[in-house]
A and B are shown apart, each in its own frame.
Chain A
Amino acid sequence: MMSIIQVKGGSGKVGVDRTLFVGARIPHEIQAMVKPLTKLDKSVFTKILRVIVASVVGPQPDSSSLRSLVSDKLTDDTVAVIFCGLEKLLRQAWKVSTSSLKKEHFLQDLQELQIPAEFHEDLVSCVFGSVRGKIDEQLENARPGLPTLDHLGWRVDVAISTGVLNRVLVRGVTMDMTLSDGSIKDFEMSVSRFQDLRFQVASVLSEMEKLEKRSILKIKD
């Protein structure tokens, strides 16, 4: 999508024919961190980046990871401002696929946003480097949705005899499903119901494959 916007900022450039990856209006979190960034140590910057990445791919950082960066040169307010700004910047970059947002454009935008050049390399590796695969996976898994099937336990049995019938000889399938929300659902089904279930699942799989083949052609980046 192309749109003509006026890029606001100290550089005063006008009429860039592409929206910045952060959006048409620069988020206030990013604007707020520009000044503090100019005085920031590279080592502290790298540490903050690590905390942001860890909050997505794990292990979950705790409050001490940022507090340890506070010093006489760096107040906790400033750390907070920089953390929020960088997190916003990275999340906007992660939101778009790497085929949509090219590295050169990313770097151009970083310049427009007045991010000091010494920090560009680290930011690029967060967005385009090897960690991106894990980040995409985590973001996808965290999407809202119905519970998924964590574990399926099953049993096939033959009822030989019951209290009311001496010779039954009927096969049945019993399942217990452990879902991602922690609940356990157990139920039984006749053989014909099981065949139906199997048929439905196979149908959906085949429909999925057809859909995937089709959509790759239509939805272009």
Chain B
Amino acid sequence: MAAMFAASASLKKAVALINELDINRFPLLLSKILQKLHVQEERTFSEEEEEKLQSAFSMSSSDLELVLQTLEFILQQAAYHTAKPAVLGDQLRQLDLHEDKVNKIVEAWTAGARDLVQKLRERTVHPNQLEDVQWRLNLQVAQSTQTKMKLTNAFFQFGVRNEDTKKKENIRLEFTHEELYKFYNQLETIQKQLDSLS
């Protein structure tokens, strides 16, 4: 398999820094990074937390930044390739990471890989997602222009969540029996397509 990591200057520097880290605090750091990896646009650590880490590891803020970014990058690449733990271990050793750190990273990856990959698989590009479907069935008996009717009527509400604004829009539609039957046939066609792809 192709190398996941190109040994650039900053990567070499980061490896040196990581090798110096206190091994006892290392696993916790890794699991926290893993947890937040699938979330876009959010910092893994708050400013406070970063300050605490700086003092805990006796590092300058720029060094800490490099360490965190590199660890994130390592895990992101592992996720991207859905790497087997053994393969990840080998690739990390090639970067001259110390054995104890390599083992901790592989352990964390083994534990968290499945969840992370599942969450990443669900990530889509389309901003609007259908969240729920609700409905109401009515029997219309009259209207201003006609009395004594027997018109069956269905109201549907499609709850669509916009990933960017986080707002949920309720799309409301109504269907007569005929219109609903037509819609159902379209859904059946879609199902056939899905079946042919599985």
Q: Hey, which bits of chain A sit against chain B, CB under 8 A?
A: 91, 94-97, 100, 136, 139-140, 142-149, 152, 154, 156, 158-159, 162, 164-168, 170-175, 177, 179, 185-191, 193-194, 196-198, 200-202, 204-205, 207-209, 211-212, 215-216, 219, 221
Contacts and interface: CB of A to CB of B under 8 A. Distances in A.
Given A95-B145, A165-B120, A187-B160, A173 B137 contact: no
B172 A146 contact: yes
Interface stretch (B10-18, B50-58, B76-84, B104-112): B76-84
Nearest to B136: A204
Nearest to A179: B173
Interface stretch (B20-28, B59-67, B91-99, B175-183): B175-183
A156 B76 CA distance: 28
B160 A208 contact: no
Contact of B190 (A154, A167, A177): A154
B123 A162 contact: yes
B8 interface: no
B46 interface: no
B60 to A, nearest CB: 30
Interface in B147-176: 147-156, 158, 160, 169, 171-175
A96 B151 CA distance: 15
Contact of A95 (B146, B154, B155, B194): B146
Nearest to A220: B148
Given A149-B173, A152-B183, A189-B130, A172 B124 contact: yes
Interface residues of B, number: 59
Given A139-B146, A148-B174, A189-B129, A202 B155 contact: no
Contacts of B135: 200, 204
A201 B98 CA distance: 59
Contact of A212 (B147, B152, B169, B188): B152
B140 to A, nearest CB: 7
11 contacts: A100-B148, A140-B143, A162-B120, A171-B198, A185-B171, A188-B128, A188-B129, A191-B194, A194-B194, A198-B188, A215-B150
Interface of B: 76, 79-82, 117, 120-126, 128-131, 133, 135, 137, 139-141, 143, 145-156, 158, 160, 169, 171-175, 177, 179-181, 183-184, 186-188, 190-191, 193-194, 197-198
Contact of B146 (A136, A185, A204, A205): A136
Chain A contact surface mostly: mixed
B130 to A, nearest CB: 4
Contacts of A100: 147-148
Contacts of A219: 141, 148, 150
Contacts of B152: 208, 211-212, 215
Contacts of B177: 205, 208-209, 212
A187 B162 CA distance: 9
A94 B124 contact: no
Contacts of A97: 146-149
Contacts of A197: 130, 133, 187
B145 A198 contact: no
Contacts of A165: 79-80, 82, 117, 120-121, 123
A96 B148 contact: yes
A147 B155 CA distance: 10
A62 to B, nearest CB: 22
A194 B129 CA distance: 11
A94 to B, nearest CB: 7
A219 B79 CA distance: 63
A201 B80 contact: no
B143 A216 contact: no
A192 to B, nearest CB: 11
A105 to B, nearest CB: 15
Contacts of B169: 185
A166 B120 CA distance: 10
